[in-house]
Structure 1
Amino acid sequence: MTDFGAIDALLAGAKKEVPLPSAEERRTLREELNLSRAQLAQALGVSPSTVGGWESGRDPSGEVREKYAYFLEGARGKLAAEAAEETSAEDSASSESDSQGDAPADARQAEDSGDDDVAVLAAPQPCVLCGEPARHQVAGFPQHLDPAECGSAEAAEPEPQPQSEQGVRVVPVGRRLQAADTPDLIGTAVASALAEHSGDLESATKALVKRAIPDAMALLDHSRMGGRYDVVAHPWMPDVLRKQSSRGADQIWEARPKWSRSELPAGKHEITALDVNGAYLSALKTHLPLGQLEHSTGNHHDRRRAGIHLITPPDWEHDAYLPNPIGSRDEPGPLWVTESTLRLLLRISGPKYGLCDPPEIHESWTSGATEGLLEKFRIALKDARDRAIADKDDVTLEYVKAMYSKFVSTMGESNYNRELYRPDWMHLIRSQAFANLWWKAHRAYDEGLMVVRAMGTDELHVVGDWRAVFAEGRGVTEVKVKDVYTVGTG
């Protein structure tokens, strides 16, 4: 009887494990709610890597399994409810549009943005940059379309700052995005360096350039205050992103252009070498992965994610008048490219441009992404740069340039920046700068200019009335003349 009693007790306490959805659905449910692994791990009392294991196919057990199942079921229900609300809102908007013949203002704003990834949210959700309610979704993440709306409060007009004897004016940066009590980190650093070096501009500039990396990291940390997502500074990286030797390179192809037109029409041609301003600064606005990269295979691209991709690039048949978007590459076959390069290839292979076939994607390392992760950081640097140019403040100008250029160049495997190890970001930002130059070359060609050369991130040589195509100046959306030369005879 004792044996049977033990069996009865065992059966009484036994119960079936709570069923769980597939590993892929687990990850999808979390990402659809814009939750990081760290957030979910904290709620469940486990580590982020444990959550990652569950999303890769391992199953939890015991009490934590029940908690995880409860979260997944709740996430599924929440998403279903939001989808129903969105459908209802769309039906209502459609009905209103039919009766009034006019689209809602939010929809018009999303359409005017020109971004295929912009959508109007059925209900405001916290912005991934500032945490305040946003009415739009960009690339799958709630964001403000207007930078002026992004922030805890509108900036109050700052009091005039004193000028140094050398005429370097200290002006708060990022006015559109800063609260009234936000310190001016760049202006304070410049004023301090000038005071420390008794107004010696050259010495102050050298000192500021020397401290550009830690100051850039401090500005990044400050610009991310209140952001919904933390910057994952030291995630695990796949082998393709690791240097093969101490002085070698990793396996990522950045698509750096080094192209010259092979043949010019007969006659004499005046060629203008244009310099694109702030190439790396503009490239900070790119799709960056938020967390640790995850592996996938197959010829599929998820626009909500970003990372690196092993692709077979398409053939390029326009080299006679336009640079190859994949850059100057001699070896055929598959290669690892960044999100920036892949999106460029996918866009120009689409029906709007039809310049090539789509690339074939073999495998990818990606994470959920947003295009605006560094946007406040970028705008703070851009505003400081713009004011330095307007004030002829060369000290601040050189300091800001060193901040963004060194920030990009040292976020990989570098001894100069131990605070951030993101070689994936470094490659993505560089590739975005190259992609931006390619688009300028395409615009020049499309507007009737003859494109002669495209080099690096910022050098574009053209023949024709380029001022009718590009604005001239020193702003980041403008170009300036680097050289004018003549080739041919006539």
Structure 2
Amino acid sequence: MNLHPAIDALLAAHTPLPAPCERARARNTLGISLEQLAHAIGTSTSALQAWEEGLAEPDGHPRDAYAHFLLRAYTVVDYRTRTATPTPAPDATLKAALCVLCGKPATDQVAGYPQHLTATECAQTNGPVQPAPTPATRRQEPAHSIPSARRPNPPPPARTGQDPIRDAVTAAMTTHDGDPQKATAALTANAIPDAMRLLNTLRVGGRYDIVHHPALPDMLRKPSPHTPDLIWEARLNWQRPTAPRQTGPVAILDMNGAYLSALKTHLPLGQLQPTRPQPHDARRAGVHLITPPVWEHDSHLPNPLGPRAESGPLWITEPTLRLLLRLSGPRHALCEPPVIHESYTSGSTENLLEKFRTTLRDARARALDEDDAVTLDYVKALYSKFVATLGESTYNRDLRRPDWMHIIRAQAFANLWSKAYKAHTAGLTLLRVCGTDELHLQGDWRQVLPEGRDLNQVKLKDTHHVAALYPQAQPQSQVPCTHPSADKRRYEYAGGRYIGCHTCGGDLCTSCWATHLTPSDTPFEYNDDNLCPACRQTA
């Protein structure tokens, strides 16, 4: 049995960490980036940077892994020191170059730039320019020295403004000579990398860092590229079982920017870990294996879990679980609380993507005010493609968070259910709730749901009658086709003979060519002939 790994771990756990300023030097000497080391020891880049700056200290498993890295790093550095070729002493005959940080004389170099190695040297350097080494005896960085963690950054590229979305649209319109269709196509094609670039820009200085490629638990892994994982997103597809008594018009409403609004949800920060399922911890988010409660209101309200045919436990995401827990509380008392068997969660925040969401929201509002269709389509492509490619997608390799994808989608469905419940409690009649953004309502819905194009408003897509959803509720009388130039054309589909009316586009009796047919006139056994009741009796 090889005991070396165990011994290394024991030494790392009991080895005091070096000073914060030395930690970054050890990493930089080996040419290891923050991202590489953070991924190797299982932490975030922001946490690692805080350790190197002395703002925080590691603990637990990350501390052991970090101590082990530093121990091995100094071993490598010490080997380089013993094998390095001695360098000649500096010769003070030439003028020293100016430090790129403070503008004062500096004889050391970092990454090819003249620079002081510490902030103290920058503060203490004064007076005239000092001589620097001659070319023959120029002082070089010793092979065993560790450069400063701070490196000179190249100047940022010049920008045309402070709005990256407006800049991208302006550049696309200029490139395509003002053609809105070509500009929209080009912007949509680049929506995924643009969304990631915008997200990374807005995350600079953020309180929480993003873990881009965490290890995934089994329920979030696809068995094959064409087989979905085990997460149930609770997509709604409900229609009222019976026709309502009212005969008034039915309004089809659309929720504006459903996925954009759903970006404000509780997202797990790090890798999902098994946690105690009971009681539910509101400070964490993830996926949960539950036995759903019985839903007894399907006659007038959709099941929050959607149309699930199978019974038994299922994996759901944080928004669905929080919705079920809220509905089982004393305020609503619509169902029993779900039984939680397993939970895989991480510490969470509702504001992880808030800057990203508000930037897209403001760009969308500006585009609506300016009637800018190109920007409107571009913004929609940014957030819709961002959500769609968060999983195991080949189109976005910068961020793989299928847990976020399922959570954001489930949040959109939960938001739609909440709007439907609000309409129901206000006395409106729900007829259909489907997808992420569609409601069919009967009643004065404008008194309940504000109309408009903002994210907290709804827009009217269309209106129809109850018979469109419930044909049997209002049978139509037989009306002869009296149009003198009606085009009685024959066409075949679905295995039967049909004749269409040129005036209304409806189906006519295939025998008399004069009587309009309704769905109730063509029972299954007569579908091949499509005869009206009168012709069927004489046939």
Check whether TM > 0.5: yes
Partner SS for 2:250: strand
Alignment correspondent of 1:254 = 233
1:388 corresponds, among 355, 359, 367, to 367
1:483 equivalent to 2:500? Answer: no
CA distance in 1, matches of 2:64, 2:362: 49
Q: Structure 1 counterpart of 2:378, which letter?
A: Y
Following superposition of structure 1 onto structure 2, how do residues 141-220 of structure 1 map, counting pairs within 5 Å?
183-220=162-199
Which residue of the partner structure matches residue 296 of structure 2? 317
Partner of 2:216: 237
Aligned to 2:316: 337
Residue 195 of structure 1 aligns with an amino acid whose one-letter code is: T
1:361 deviation in Å? 0.6
AA in 1 matched with 2:463: V
CA distance in structure 1 between the partners assigned to 2:372 and 2:47 by the alignment: 47
User: 1:264 Cα shift?
Assistant: 2.1
Unmatched segments (≥5 aa) in structure 1: 1-16, 19-35, 46-50, 65-179
Please state how far the C-alpha of 1:474 moved relative to its aligned partner.
1.2
Structure-2 change in CA distance of 1:260 and 1:52 (3 Å): farther
Q: How many residues align?
A: 336
For residues 475 and 317 of structure 1, do their structure 2 counterparts lie closer, same or farther at Cα, with a shift above 3 Å needed? Answer: same
Contact 2:44 2:211 in 1 (8 A): no
Query: What is the CA-CA distance between 1:259 and the residue it aligns to?
Result: 0.4
Deviation at residue 296 of structure 1 after TM alignment: 2.1
Deviations 1:33-64 (A, max 9, x none): xxx7766667779xxxxx89749xxx969x88
CA drift of 1:297 comes to 4.0
How big is the shift at 1:182? 7.2
CA distance in 1, matches of 2:348, 2:457: 28
Counterpart CA distance in 1 for 2:294 and 2:163 is 49
| TM-score (normalizing by structure 1) | 0.65
Amino acid at match of 2:336: D
User: Whole-Å Cα distance in 1 between the matches of residues 395 and 276 of structure 2?
Assistant: 35
Give SS of 2:265's match. coil
Contact 2:160 2:167 in 1 (8 A): no
1: CA distance, partners of 2:405 / 2:59? 24
The aligned counterpart of 2:533 is none
Aligned pairs for 1:282-301 within 5 A: 282-301=261-280
Asked whether 1:474 is paired with 2:453, we answer yes
Deviation readout 1:55-114 (Å, 9 max, x if unpaired): 9xxx969x88xxxxxxxxxxxxxxxxxxxxxxxxxxxxxxxxxxxxxxxxxxxxxxxxxx
In 1, are the aligned partners of 2:269 and 2:346 still within 8 Å (CA)?
yes
CA contact (8 A) 1:274 1:483 kept: yes
Within a 5 Å distance, the mapping from 1:385-464 to structure 2 comes to 385-464=364-443
Alpha-carbon distance change, 43 to 433 in structure 1, aligned in 2, over 3 angstroms: closer
Aligned to 1:379: 358
2:318 & 2:359 partners in 1: Cα distance?
25
Using the alignment, how far apart are the partners of 2:161 and 2:223 within structure 1?
Answer: 43
Query: Residues 418-443 of structure 1, C-alpha deviation per residue, up to 9 Å, x if partnerless?
Result: 11100000000000000000000000
TM-score (norm 2): 0.59
Deviation at 1:183, TM superposition (A): 2.2
Separation in 2, partners of 1:181, 1:412: 34
Cα 1:191–1:39 shift into 2, 3 Å: closer
Provide the residue aligned with 1:365 in structure 2. Answer: 344
CA distance, structure 1, for counterparts of residue 51 and residue 351 of structure 2: 29
Superposed CA deviations along residues 14-37 of structure 1, whole A, max 9, x for unmatched, are: xxx99xxxxxxxxxxxxxxxxx77
2: CA distance, partners of 1:458 / 1:265: 22
The aligned amino acid for 1:242 is R
Is the contact between residue 267 and residue 489 of structure 1 (CA under 8 Å) also seen in structure 2? no
Residues 283 and 433 of structure 1 are in contact (CA less than 8 Å); yes or no, is this contact kept in structure 2?
yes
Between 1:455-464 and 1:288-297, the stretch displaced more is 288-297
Helix, strand or coil at the partner of 2:412: helix
- The root-mean-square deviation of aligned C-alpha atoms, in Å, is 2.7
Bigger relative contact order (CA 8 A; separation at least 6):
1
Structure 2 Cα separation of the partners of residues 42 and 407 of structure 1: 27
**Distance between the aligned counterparts of 1:198 and 1:54, measured in 2?**
57
> Of the two, which has the highest radius of gyration?
2
- Hey, what's the Cα distance between the residues in 1 that align with 2:389 and 2:211? 16
SS across alignment from 2:238: strand
| SS of match in other structure, 1:310 | strand
Q: How does 1:118-129 map to 2 (within 5 A)?
A: none
* Alpha-carbon separation, structure 2, partners of 1:42 and 1:458: 42
Q: Which amino acid aligns with 2:365?
A: D
> 1:227: which partner in 2?
206
Distance in 2 (alpha carbons) for counterparts of 1:468 and 1:218: 41
Number of the residue aligned with 2:331: 352
Alpha carbons of 1:52 and 1:362: their partners in 2 closer, same or farther (altered >3 Å)?
A: farther
Counterparts of residues 83-98 of structure 1 (less than 5 Å): none
Q: Which segments of 5 or more consecutive residues in structure 2 lack a partner in the other structure?
A: 1-12, 15-42, 53-57, 69-158, 467-472, 476-539
What secondary structure does 1:396 align onto?
A: helix
What is aligned with 1:96?
none
Secondary structure of the residue aligned to 1:269 is coil
Q: Alignment partner of 2:433: what SS?
A: strand
The 8 Å contact of residues 261 and 453 in structure 1, kept in 2 or not, is answered as: yes
The one-letter code of the counterpart of 2:164 is L
Question: What percent of counterpart residues are identical?
Answer: 57
One-letter amino acid of the counterpart of residue 385, structure 2:
K
User: Offset at 1:195?
Assistant: 0.3
What is the rounded CA distance, in whole Å, between the counterparts of 2:382 and 2:198 in structure 1?
10
**Alpha carbons 2:423, 2:448 under 8 Å: kept:** yes
Spell out the pairing of 1:4-43 with structure 2 (5 A cutoff). none
| Per-residue Cα deviation, 1:190-240 (whole angstroms, up to 9, x for no partner) | 000000000011100100010011111111111111102111111111111
CA distance in 2, matches of 1:326, 1:52: 40
Aligned residue identity for 2:308: R
The amino acid across from 2:269 in the alignment is L
Distance 2:255 2:232 in 1: 22
Amino acid at match of 2:243: L
Q: Per the alignment, do residues 37 and 395 of structure 1 end up closer, same or farther by CA in structure 2, a change over 3 Å counting?
A: closer
Query: What is the distance in 2 between the residues matched to 1:297 and 1:284?
Result: 26
Distance 2:435 2:161 in 1: 36
Q: CA 1:476/1:41 → structure 2, altered by over 3 Å: closer, same or farther?
A: closer
